[in-house]
Structures are given as structure tokens and as C-alpha cells.
Structure 1
Amino acid sequence: NVCLGLEDLQYVFMISSHELFITLLKDEERKLLVDQMRKRSPRVNLCIKPVTSFYDIPASASVNIGQLEHQLILSVDPWRIRQILIELHGMTSERQFWTVSNKWEVPSVYSGVILGIKDNLTRDLVYILMAKGLHCSTVKDFSHAKQLFAACLELVTEFSPKLRQVMLNEMLLLDIHTHEAGTGQAGERPPSDLISRVRGYLEMRLPDIPLRQVIAEECVAFMLNWRESEYLTLQVPAFLLQSNPYVKLGQLLAATCKELPGPKESRRTAKDLWEVVVQICSVSSQHKRGNDGRVSLIKQRESTLGIMYRSELLSFIKKLREPLVLTIILSLFVKLHNVREDIVNDITAEHISIWPSSIPNLQSVDFEAVAITVKELVRYTLSINPNNHSWLIIQADIYFATNQYSAALHYYLQAGAVCSDFFNKAVPPDVYTDQVIKRMIKCCSLLNCHTQVAILCQFLREIDYKTAFKSLQEQNSHDAMDSYYDYIWDVTILEYLTYLHHKRGETDKRQIAFKCIAHDPQKEAVTAWQAQRRKKKFLPSNYAPNF
């Protein structure tokens, strides 16, 4: 009644856009009221009431436009956005309201089509609905994003089949994100109709439809994450493998994972995947003659030789969550890193034996970029699962190779902790291999923890007495020294300790070492029990100071 009693339409617009108005009235009532008000002509009789004071001066059109533009920026209600735009276009036909906010961004592949719409109101509405929908999706406000996209789809269906398909594609991507952020996090498989829509998108062959690369990436990553290997390995159309590099990469990854249990000679796809990644990580070289006549070699960091750029490959990998797929990719890059001729310390990884052992043109590979990629991948995989012992060992090896021994020891211990119920069980021998133990020994040695070195020498399949004795001779040890003697179970090392302290005249320490000698070392069962018990005690005690 208040609105219907007003003669100035600008006041009506101001009141109808107020938050209280929107809260009090239902959608149907708001629509009915605005329609009734728009039918009335905005007649203002300036003679009815003279201007008596400053506060009686009505707001200018520019002020009203500014207020509406502010509401337009804040609103995520499709109906309200439409009403504001109708009001704005009723006030002026000279403005392009899709430019009101520089935060409204639409992908360049779409903007050309949208800005080509002849009707100004429709153009503004489509652009703003899509921009706001994309923004809501980015900030994970999926409910509002769905409303905005649905309104945009309904609008463009009336006049543009091309934009209709664009909106269907964006709604597919939104549904993927919604599932992954919702029930997908708990491991619930996506509904079958969503999987069918993803397949439909990948196989789509509509001409002149603008496509965003990220949708293809997300669709292939979606299929890999939910182990749709049957489709990727057997049912993908041949034209897709040729035209879509992400489908090609997904097919090779799925096939390599599928072939893992088989014999090594049957792993043809592993070799194909290796060649694809090597090509992506290769640099294109050009020869350039300088002013002095000399020919120099110029290397391009991002090669165009592969099916995609290295940065695109890394972006795609960071959309994956499936553990086996991530392990395979990490294994491949670790092997590629180890192929270098000047490498001093190899990095270990699971399934590393399935990859070729050499590269024909070693100089073409950008090993600096490979090393950076390995570090980024390990950081990403550990963000997905910080308790994967294989990935923790890789991280430890990277720190070891770069002389960061404290950090390396930290991750070696963490790898043992996560696969042994915090050392309440024995660490599996395939986790603490001799190579890992030797690297832990070197870390402790370089950190001047010499008593720990002697203890770790017992963990090897064949006890390294030479290293153990040498470490015990060191007197500048930074660890607890005799407090660790209780963790030594090998009688030979304990006897050497007793002799060493006797020689130095250290009676108290000699007595501590003597008490640690097993009562009956001749019985293998007793010795094995002592070894296992003291291993379990030592590792947690070493773990705590490093964390």
C-alpha cells in the first residue's frame, strides 16, 4: 500500500529494493507489485509542493542508479538481479551494466558470444548471471551458483542453442565440484547419471561450441578419481584420444594402473606413458648466431613438443586424488629424476621398476624442471594423505639428496610411525629397507648423534660393526649417549662399549653398558625377542625429539 500510494517511481524503486521489503513480501507479491508500478507512468507534479528546504530535494537519477548498481553487485538472487537490470535500463540506455564490477569475470571463450547479443538488457543479464555463478562456484557457494546457472540456462534456451550448451557444460562442472566437495569426500560414489553426463561431455562433437579446457581436465580427473578405468581403457572413442590430450593422458594412466599386477614385459602402456611425459618435460632447442659469429644454443623452458605444457600437466595432476594414480605419476617423475647422469643420491619410489632405465636424448630433458615438479608433486600428494609411508619416504629422500638431514630424518621416522601404529608394531622391512636405514644412519652421523648411529647399525640385515664402533669412539656426541645404551641389543657392540669405557676410565658408563648385556645371548630366541623389544622402545624415543 505504501508503494502504491507513491507517485514518484524512483521512490518506489528505492523502497522495493530495500532489504526489509524483500524480507517481508513473498516472491509472488513482489513480482505483482513491481509489475503494477511499472505500468504506471512516472509523473511528478512539481507544483503540488514547493521546495522548502534542502532535505525536500529529491535524489538525482545518478544517485538512484548508483544505489541500484550497488544492489546489483551484492545480490545473488537471479530474480532480483533481473528486476534491478530492468529498472536500470528503464532509467538509462547509455550504460553497459555488465561493466559495473571489475570482479565479474567470464572466460574469454564465452565473452565474445555473450557480448554479441544484440539486446542490451539480455546481454547484461546473461553476462552477470554467468559471472556471479562462476564466482559462487569458486568460493564453494554451490547452491547459489546452481540457481544463477539455472536462471541463465532458462534465459539463453529461448534464443541461443550455442549458449544453452555452454550453460549445460558449466552446470556439469558445477555438479562435479558439488559432489567432490560433499558426499565424494566421504568416499560415496557419484550417481550413475553424473558419470553418464561426464562421458557425454567427453564424446561431444558439436561444432562451434566454445569449450573451456578446465572442464575437460575435470571430467578426465573425475573418471580417474572414481576408478572408471573400464571406460578410459576400453570404451573411449579413437577420435577422442587424438583430439583431447587429457583423455589421452587419462587413458595411459588408467591402463598403466590396470597392468600393474601383470608381468613386466606386458607393460607396454607404461612405456607409452613414459614417452609422453618425457616429451612434455623436454626442451626445444634453437641455434642462434651472435654478433661475433659464434653459434649459441637457446633452450625454451616450456616445450611445444609434447601433448601439453608441463604447467598444464601439473595443473591436471593436482585435480587427482586416487592414491594408485598419484603413486604411478610420482613414481614416473622420480625415475625421470634419477636418470640424470650427475645424480648422487637416488630417490626411491614404489613401482619404479616398470619404467625404462634410460633416455635416448638425455640433453633434451629439462631436469631442473623435473626436480621442481617432483617436489611439487610430493607436497601435493602429502596434502591429500599425510600418512602414506611411500610418499613420506620420497619426501625424506628429497631432503636427504639436498643435504637437509634433520628434515630427512623427520620424514623417515614419520614413515615408520604411520605404518607401525606409532611403533607399537614392527616397521615392515619393505619400508625400512637397508637403504633407508643407511640414510638414517648418515643423517644421525652428520647431526652428531653418534650413539643413535650405533643403534641404527643393528637395524641392518647385516650389522655394520665398523660404522657402529667408529661412531661410539666419537666424544662430541649431541645425543643422550649412555641413556641410549638400553636400546642396544647386540652383544658385540655392548662388549665393545664396555671395553671402550674401561679404557677411558669411565666406570659408571662401563657399568651401564655391562648391565645391558643379555643374560643368555647364546639362545637365538632370547636375542630376537630382546632386539624386537628394544627396537620398539628406541624408535618412539627418537621420534619425539624430531617432532
Structure 2
Amino acid sequence: MDVDLLRPGTVPLSPDTTLWFEFLLHPNLLETHLKNPVGEPSPTDLIVKFITVAEGEKEAPPPDAALGLPFLPTSYEGYNRRGKCLKILALKVAAFLNFNLDEFENKVPLNIQAILLKDLLYSVSPDLVDVPNHVTLDLEDLEPHARFAVFLYHRWVLKCFVSSTINGKPLKPNGVVGLNEIPCEEVSSGCAERSVSVLKRMASSKTPHYLTMPKLETFMALSEYVADVVHKWNVGLHISSNQFRCQVLMDISTYLMLCESYADAKAALKDCQTAYNQWKLEPEAEDCFCKVTSDVISAYAIAVGINPPNFTPTLRQEFHNLVQDQYVSINRVIERDNLEKEIPLLYRDCLELDVSSEVANGNVTVYRDGLVQIKALNVVRRTLDGGCWQENRVPPSALHKGIAAVMVNVTDLEKRRLKYLVGETLVNGDTQTCRETSYFPTTQALLLKEEISAAVDADYTDPIPHVLNPMDVDHLESPSEPDRSITLEQADVVKVLINSYDAHDLKIAVKKMLSLVVTTDLAEINKTWEVPIPINNLVLSLSGAFLQQFCFLLLAKAYELDQLKNFRLARTMISSVQDEITREHNSTSGSRESQVIGKSNQLLSWEILLIDIHQFHAEWPDEKYIDVRDLTMRCIMMLKGEGCSPRIGLKEECALFLLNTCNWGAVRSATQLNYNSVMLDLYPAIAAACEEAFHQKKISVDIWDKLLPMFMSNQKQREHTIVMMTALCSVAEINAITLIISFLARLHNILIDQPQMELFAQNVHLWPAVIKNPNLYNLNSISEMLFEVLTTALKRYSNVVNWLKLLGDLHFVNNHHMPALRSYIEAIIAATDCFSRPLHKNLVEDHIYKRMIKCCSTLQCHTQAGILCQFLDEVDYTTAFKSLGEAGCCDAMDSYYDCIWDVNFLEFLINLHTKRGEHHRKQKVIRIIGLLELNSNNNEEIKREAENLRKARFMRAMAEQYLS
């Protein structure tokens, strides 16, 4: 049972249930509870609960709290006796878990971990809490338990930094986070470098020192007779110097590999292996703290180039090594993989695309027919797996070589699949392909002679049918009788041109269409087929009507598939265009042909880049199958403008991608030129604001002055309003969204110039508070733009409490009271995790409740308005009594009485119903006021539990009414 849901006096408790504050009354109860393997709550839940409650016991907040900065206590100062007891209990639980940072990482919020480790430092010595001084600390003179506390703290900093970086998301102090996820500024690149220096000093100590890890019995609880305790530091688990060096060197190696300092990481790993071997030779060696294993060390060593004796790399490792070595002989590895099926097919698909791109751009030179063989081997692998392979057309010789390599070990099911592949090649191939394929030993081994003869002798070279249902061509103009067969054949071809997405079939269809009508323009067949102007100019520059029409068709299909989010097939279409242009121009030699091939490859590779960007945004925030680093480099290279000039739309998409991946410096440096584009002016300004807010915690006036003119209401800017709104709504990175919202909120507050109608947004204080000539801006346009940005942002991050509050504020100032209530209630649901946590006053501000009261009064829900007056820090009895005294209500009235915990409200209602002669309602209020949990003599804990219970009950009723 969840501890937070245990409310004394409201539900019957089972004999096995333990309330968290009982551990304060009976300190010995904690050890018994922790030794229960199925005890509830879990140890990590107890740590979170103890520290959370202890933080609520602070007698005076620090000065920085008023600025909204995260506060991590450096001592027990400012905490009452119960708060100190709770912190000691949290340390006892952590000691029971052997200070396992891996378990803390998964189950304890980051700021709670920081508080716990700072408490450990303070318990050892108050001087150790000053972490920056650890750099000059004399580590040789520290006691074993103090050395352990310092080691644990800096190992935690390093581990958290590495984990946050590997996960792909930096620790963002400007991001919107929950209550238990306050950004921890102690975990940053600077702090990580400081921790590495401290750990290196500890690891390089010439004098071997053991460490003492505190046990549960080490920490002594406070009592009514003892004001300050002295912990038993001699009671603990001894960690040998070899075990300690093994763990610390592994942590340092991980950090160095993250920083790409592979030479230093290699040296650290060698020392780690030595320390590990010495540790395991120790008598009675225990892994009480160090979790490093020989397999982990070997894996890290292989990653930096240290191969253990008799090491044989796996097939996947060979694959990655050959990718780094310019793909030389990589077909041998994937040929073996068709038998072992160890390399994921996704890697092989990416290999095919990468090699195609690199060869087209001239960045890599592979062996003759290497790319063709890779494609053929991938077709064989997809066939063996039962996947789709029809879109890849490969030469028969390459396909035969790939099939022959696996024929000896295929199962019956795989053999049937290969038979279907060869049969499809015979049926749909041209005459030369069919006859060449029929002579291969693999074809004769898979198919019978009768099957081969039937496929070769029949006319299967044309996939377009010659007979079509007349109903399919009723829309065509009735031709004269001699031309009827030609018209039907044209209709067959048009049907294939519109419906097919197979490059091979489309090629045959275009040839046939041109043979029927020489002056065919495929753009007239489907008016929705559109190709960007620069790409269309490239197509028109090609020689030959067939090449122009075929390339136009494939490109139009690619953009169509891109809109349908079939990105893989869209990329295949553009690759087919590249192959066709290269094949046609290679037949003739000359400088002009080389220029055409180079220009077309560059322009088309940029279009593939655009599809990759669209896929990245379509799958946001899932980046599992996307190489973000490679995509980032391609975007930066494109924006630098080397070679052909890319089109504006592609530059806008690249700038948006870099903005969404936190590459703010790249956006600023790569888009300095004037492109006459709204988005290319807007995105660098947003990137500059993000960079300054992230590093300097402020935004310069220059950025404010650059952004403001974009939102003016003159004629020129009104034409860009839709473009501006689209650009702002396309931003998906949470830091950038936060700053955009804060900018629009600040601009809205300045224009409306009414304190009672102010929008409360995060980071709004970073922007200036005044503007020149506010009449030049349209308040309604800003309000609409802010609403669209908020709505789009909440679709991506649905549980951001501050944005839900701001959306409610925006509805409120526009007099949309019902939507405002919905947004406020959704914010409360997100803040309390569907009311599973108490609705503390630090979750929802007073102005939110006041606006909810106003909304309820306007909607004639006076009872709800009156009950909400209880939620204020200083209860508004005047408004509450006036609301509760209203006769005409549009809410449930006395059904909400069991949500009242303020006795003054209940006494007022008893008097009110007595005057009105409403005996039934009066008796109901008397029954409620007589409940034991509302007794004014109860202690603060029971009163708080009664209040939290009724708050949650009322908010559930509100949610059921306004959100259902």
C-alpha cells in the first residue's frame, strides 16, 4: 500500500501497514521493515518520503528561494528536530542499500539524491559540505568514513553527468520540470571536471587506504534526551584499496570515453584491470560496493582498442569496424550474416543508404560492384526473414551470388521464400534478365525445369495489363473506333503511373506511355504532383524526354510518400533517380556529363536530408532509429552553402532541426546571411535567446529588439502571420518552447497593461518589461499565436504544469471561463499525478485559485467558488460567505459539503440553513462538523491529512464535471 494514501481515521488499516511517521516513534522498526523483502513502502520510496517531509520542516527558507533557484541544504541548520530525525532515517535506509547509486538513479529523483549525499557529507564533517574546496582537500589525512563520503559524492556527480549526456538530453535549467525533478545545478560539465580531478587524486594515491562504508547501525537516531548525536563511524563495511581503485578507475574511464579522450581512457582501463585482478586475489574478497565485473572491463577495453588474449570479434563488431574503414570488404561480413542473422536488418538498410550517398557524393571509393552486391545481399536477407524486398531491383548475377552463399544451410521455409524470389525475378524481369537468371545453378536448384520454361517462354516482360475493366475508363472521352485499343492501353498505363510505387514498373510504364503519346506530360496526369522549382529545373536540364519524365515522376512520388510519412520508400525513390541519372550520363563521357551528375547528386542528397529531417520530427521524441549526430553534421554542412545553393525551404528545415536538437550555436553561425525568409530570421534569434538563457541566465536586449519587429501589425508583417505561427508551432525542443512562450507572454502582458489580467509564465522575467510604440502590435494576434503555440506544445508535452496554468490564464483574460477552469484542473491533475499526491500550496499559486473562484462565480457555480476560497493561503471569508449564501446555483450545492474542512465555513452554513428553515441541509452540516478528523484539538498531522483528503475529493468532483 502506498504510504501517501494511508490517511489515519479515514480507512481501515491492515495490521501489516506501517505509517511513515511510526519510524520516528520506534527507531528499531525501520530495520525490521527493511529486512522484509516484500515490505511496502520500498526502501527508495522511504528515502523520498523522509527527505520530502524533512524539506517541509524547514523553519526559514534561504534567500535564494525567492528567486526561484533550486536549493540544496548544506547542513541541518534551519530544520527542526523532526526534520533532522527524518534525514538520519534516510541515511540509514541508504546505508541498508549499500549506497547503490544504480538503484538511486532509477527510483530516486535527482534533487533528492543530491540532498541525501550532502547530508552524508555533513554527518561526517560540516566542513566537507563546501564541495568546491574538495579540490584542495588533503585526502591523505581523511578518516576512512570521510574518504568514502567524498568518493561517493564525486562518483555520483560523474555518474549523473555521464548518464544525462548519454541519454541525449542535457540537464536544462530552463526546462519545465516537476516537483521532484528540480534541476540540479551540481551536475554540470564544470562540476564533472572538478569531480574527475578529485577522483583522480584519490585513485593515484601512493599510500593504500581502505574506505569504510557506513552500515545501518552506524547512524544513531535523535531522541528526546539527546540534542545532537555522534554516529558510530567505526561500525561499517571495509572497502579495500584495490576494490576502491577498481570502481573509481572504471568511473573515470567512462567519463573519459564520453569526452572522447581515448588515450587517457585506455591507460585508466589498464590500471582498472590491474586493480580488479589484485582485488579478486584478496582473501574473502566481497563486492559490497564495487559492481565492476571482468566482462564490463573487457567490453570497455575492446571499445578503446585493447583486445584481450584469444579475442575473436563478433560479427556485429566486425561490421562496425568495417564501416569505420570505408566499407572495404564489408560484403563478406553481411554475406556471413545471411547465415547467422546477428546484425539487425536496420543496420544493413542504413549501410545501403550510407554507401549510396557516399558514392554519389564522391566521398568514398568502394570495390567494383560493391554497392550492387550489398543491395543483393540485403534482398536475400529480407527474403529469408519473410520481409518486403520488391522495391529493390538488382542484377541477376549479384542475386545469384547472394543466394548461393546461403543455399547450404537454409530451412524448408527459407527455401520456399528464395524460390518465390527467383520466380518473381523470372516473371517480372525483361527477356535478357530472365534468360540470364534461368542458367544459374541456384535457379535450377530452386525451380523445376517446367517452371523455368514457363516463366522464360511467356511474355512477362511488361507488368502492365492489356485488358482493363471498362468501368475503370468510363471517365475517358469516347474515341473513334480505330483508336479505341490505344485509348484503353493508355488508361492501363495511367493507372499504373498513379497507383504504383515500384521504380521498375514505373520505368516500364513511362517508356510505354512515351511510345503511345510522344508529347506526354506526366504533370498533367495528376495535378497534385508537385516538385520544388530548383529540383524541377534540374529535371528540365536532363537530356532526353524519357529521362525527364521518369525523373519527374519518381520525384513527385517521393514527395507524395514524404507527406504520407512513408520515409523509407520516399528515400528509395530519390535514390532511384540518382541511379538513373548516373547510368544515363555514364554512357557518354565529357565534362558536362560529370557536372550534371555532381550537381544532381548534391541536390538530390539534400532532398534525402529533408526526408530524414521530416522523419526525425515525425518520430519526435523517439530517436531510437535515427543517427542524430550524422544528421546534425549534414545539416551544418548544407547550411554552410558549399557547392550548389540549396533552396530556402530546405535551409529552414535544417535550421529548425538544429534548433530542436539544442545545437543553438550552429543555428546562429550557419544562418548569418540574409535569406529573405521569416523562419531563417526567427530561428537564429530563438537559438541566440536559448544559448544566452542557458549559459548566462539572461537574454540581451539585442535579441529582444530583433524579435519584436517580426510581431508588428503592419501590412508586411500581417502577410507573415501564418508563416510565423507555423514556424513557432514547429519548434519541439522544450527549452526553445519555454522561451517562445515566455516571450509571447511578456509581449501580451505589456500590450494588455492590466496587472489583474497578467499572464504568469516561466522565465518571463528574462525579457524587458517595456516596448516602444505598443500601438504597432496587435494584441489579438499575439494572443492567438500564444494559444496555438501552447496547444501544440501541450500535444508534445501533455503534463507540463506551468503551460497548463498559462493556458488557463490565457483563457481567463479572454473571458473564456469554462476552458480556463478545464486548463486549471488539468494542471492540478498533472501536478498531483492524478490526485495521488497531496495538493500542497507550493503546487498551485494563490492567483490560480482566485481566478478559478472568479470563473466559478461567472458560471453561477457559487458553491464551488465558496469551497475554493479555502484553498487560499489566507482564506477569503468575505467572498466565501457571499458565494455560499447565494440562492441560485448551477452546481451540486450541498453535495460538496463533505469537501469543507474549515470549521468557520460549516458554522456559517449551519446558521444560514437555520435562517432559511432548511432542516435537512442543516442536519447534514452538523453531521460533517462532528467528524473526529475535523476536531480543532487534533494535532497538525491529522488536520493536514483531513484537508488533503477533502481537497482531492473536491478536485475529483470538479474534474468529473468539467473534463468529462
Corresponding residue for residue 455 of structure 1: 867
2:711 aligns with one of 281, 290, 311: 281
Corresponding residue for residue 32 of structure 1: 431
The farther-off stretch of 386-395 and 356-365 is 386-395
2:747 aligns with one of 305, 324, 336: 336
Summarize the Cα distance change of 1:92–1:500 in structure 2 as closer, same or farther, 3 Å threshold: closer
Corresponding residue for residue 370 of structure 1: 782
For residue 31 of structure 1, what is the amino acid of its counterpart?
D
For residue 519 of structure 1, what is the amino acid of its counterpart?
N
Secondary structure in 2 aligned to 1:93? coil
For residue 122 of structure 1, what is the amino acid of its counterpart?
L
Residue 404 (structure 1) aligned with residue 821 (structure 2) = no
User: Could you tell me how far 1:451 is from its partner in structure 2?
Assistant: 1.8
Distance 2:807 2:620 in 1: 30
TM-score computed with the length of structure 2 as normaliser: 0.47
Q: How many residues align?
A: 485
Secondary structure in 2 aligned to 1:60? helix
Corresponding residue for residue 476 of structure 1: 888
Distance 1:224 1:262 in 2: 16
Residue 224 (structure 1) aligned with residue 687 (structure 2) = no
User: Could you tell me how far 1:340 is from its partner in structure 2?
Assistant: 1.5
The farther-off stretch of 193-202 and 393-402 is 393-402
User: Could you tell me how far 1:474 is from its partner in structure 2?
Assistant: 0.9
For residue 276 of structure 1, what is the amino acid of its counterpart?
K
Q: Is the 8 A contact 2:678 2:724 kept in 1?
A: no
Corresponding residue for residue 289 of structure 1: none
Summarize the Cα distance change of 1:217–1:427 in structure 2 as closer, same or farther, 3 Å threshold: farther
Residue 537 (structure 1) aligned with residue 953 (structure 2) = yes
For residue 413 of structure 1, what is the amino acid of its counterpart?
I
Q: Within 5 A, what are the aligned runs for 1:110-259?
A: 110-157=535-582, 158=585, 159=593, 160=596, 161-182=598-619, 185=622, 190-207=627-644, 209=645, 211-229=646-664, 231-232=666-667, 236-237=669-670, 239-240=672-673, 246=679, 249-259=682-692
The farther-off stretch of 239-248 and 513-522 is 239-248
2:490 aligns with one of 51, 55, 65: 65
User: Could you tell me how far 1:66 is from its partner in structure 2?
Assistant: 3.2
Q: Is the 8 A contact 2:783 2:810 kept in 1?
A: no
The farther-off stretch of 140-149 and 87-96 is 87-96
Residue 323 (structure 1) aligned with residue 734 (structure 2) = yes
Q: Is the 8 A contact 1:441 1:456 kept in 2?
A: yes
Q: Is the 8 A contact 1:240 1:247 kept in 2?
A: no
Distance 1:173 1:71 in 2: 27
Corresponding residue for residue 446 of structure 2: none
The farther-off stretch of 396-405 and 342-351 is 342-351
The farther-off stretch of 84-93 and 323-332 is 84-93
User: Could you tell me how far 1:24 is from its partner in structure 2?
Assistant: 5.5
Corresponding residue for residue 75 of structure 1: 500
Distance 1:380 1:314 in 2: 11
Corresponding residue for residue 521 of structure 2: 96
Distance 1:184 1:492 in 2: 50
Corresponding residue for residue 294 of structure 1: none
Summarize the Cα distance change of 1:73–1:532 in structure 2 as closer, same or farther, 3 Å threshold: closer
Summarize the Cα distance change of 1:317–1:31 in structure 2 as closer, same or farther, 3 Å threshold: farther
Kindly, what percent of the aligned residue pairs are identical?
A: 27
Corresponding residue for residue 328 of structure 2: none
Runs of 5+ in structure 1 lacking a partner?
Answer: 1-20, 40-55, 285-299
For residue 223 of structure 1, what is the amino acid of its counterpart?
L
User: Could you tell me how far 1:366 is from its partner in structure 2?
Assistant: 2.6
User: Could you tell me how far 1:376 is from its partner in structure 2?
Assistant: 1.7
Q: Is the 8 A contact 1:189 1:226 kept in 2?
A: no
Summarize the Cα distance change of 1:86–1:261 in structure 2 as closer, same or farther, 3 Å threshold: closer
TM-score computed with the length of structure 1 as normaliser: 0.80
Residue 546 (structure 1) aligned with residue 962 (structure 2) = yes
Secondary structure in 2 aligned to 1:302? helix
Summarize the Cα distance change of 1:263–1:165 in structure 2 as closer, same or farther, 3 Å threshold: closer
Q: Is the 8 A contact 2:665 2:691 kept in 1?
A: no
User: Could you tell me how far 1:372 is from its partner in structure 2?
Assistant: 1.9
User: Could you tell me how far 1:447 is from its partner in structure 2?
Assistant: 1.8
Distance 1:458 1:379 in 2: 31
Distance 1:183 1:498 in 2: 56
User: Could you tell me how far 1:246 is from its partner in structure 2?
Assistant: 4.2
Distance 2:650 2:759 in 1: 34
Q: Is the 8 A contact 1:280 1:303 kept in 2?
A: no
Summarize the Cα distance change of 1:254–1:462 in structure 2 as closer, same or farther, 3 Å threshold: same
Q: Is the 8 A contact 1:202 1:216 kept in 2?
A: yes
Distance 2:753 2:665 in 1: 41
Summarize the Cα distance change of 1:252–1:57 in structure 2 as closer, same or farther, 3 Å threshold: closer
Q: Within 5 A, what are the aligned runs for 1:341-420?
A: 341=752, 345-420=757-832
Distance 1:329 1:437 in 2: 26
Corresponding residue for residue 16 of structure 1: none
User: Could you tell me how far 1:415 is from its partner in structure 2?
Assistant: 0.8
Distance 1:77 1:59 in 2: 28
1:527 aligns with one of 943, 952, 960: 943
Distance 1:469 1:33 in 2: 94
Distance 1:501 1:411 in 2: 34
Deviations for 1:165-198, whole angstroms, at most 9, x for unmatched residues? Answer: 2211101111222344458536666342222111
Summarize the Cα distance change of 1:178–1:523 in structure 2 as closer, same or farther, 3 Å threshold: closer
Summarize the Cα distance change of 1:429–1:326 in structure 2 as closer, same or farther, 3 Å threshold: farther
Summarize the Cα distance change of 1:535–1:261 in structure 2 as closer, same or farther, 3 Å threshold: farther
Q: Is the 8 A contact 2:857 2:865 kept in 1?
A: yes
Q: Is the 8 A contact 1:448 1:478 kept in 2?
A: yes
Secondary structure in 2 aligned to 1:185? coil
For residue 699 of structure 2, what is the amino acid of its counterpart?
R
Distance 2:619 2:518 in 1: 43
User: Could you tell me how far 1:430 is from its partner in structure 2?
Assistant: 4.9
Secondary structure in 2 aligned to 1:467? helix
Runs of 5+ in structure 2 lacking a partner?
Answer: 1-419, 436-458, 462-480, 586-592
The farther-off stretch of 340-349 and 243-252 is 243-252
User: Could you tell me how far 1:78 is from its partner in structure 2?
Assistant: 1.4
User: Could you tell me how far 1:133 is from its partner in structure 2?
Assistant: 0.9
Summarize the Cα distance change of 1:362–1:390 in structure 2 as closer, same or farther, 3 Å threshold: same
For residue 302 of structure 1, what is the amino acid of its counterpart?
Q
Q: Within 5 A, what are the aligned runs for 1:510-521?
A: 510-517=922-929, 518-521=934-937
Q: Is the 8 A contact 1:184 1:190 kept in 2?
A: no
Summarize the Cα distance change of 1:92–1:483 in structure 2 as closer, same or farther, 3 Å threshold: closer
For residue 775 of structure 2, what is the amino acid of its counterpart?
Q
Summarize the Cα distance change of 1:179–1:523 in structure 2 as closer, same or farther, 3 Å threshold: closer
Q: Is the 8 A contact 1:216 1:246 kept in 2?
A: no
Summarize the Cα distance change of 1:478–1:96 in structure 2 as closer, same or farther, 3 Å threshold: closer
Distance 1:74 1:282 in 2: 47
For residue 283 of structure 1, what is the amino acid of its counterpart?
S
Q: Is the 8 A contact 1:137 1:174 kept in 2?
A: yes
Q: What root-mean-square deviation, in Å, do the aligned CA atoms of Structure 1 and Structure 2 show? A: 3.2
Secondary structure in 2 aligned to 1:148? helix
For residue 252 of structure 1, what is the amino acid of its counterpart?
A
User: Could you tell me how far 1:488 is from its partner in structure 2?
Assistant: 1.5
Secondary structure in 1 aligned to 2:501? coil
Q: Is the 8 A contact 1:437 1:459 kept in 2?
A: yes
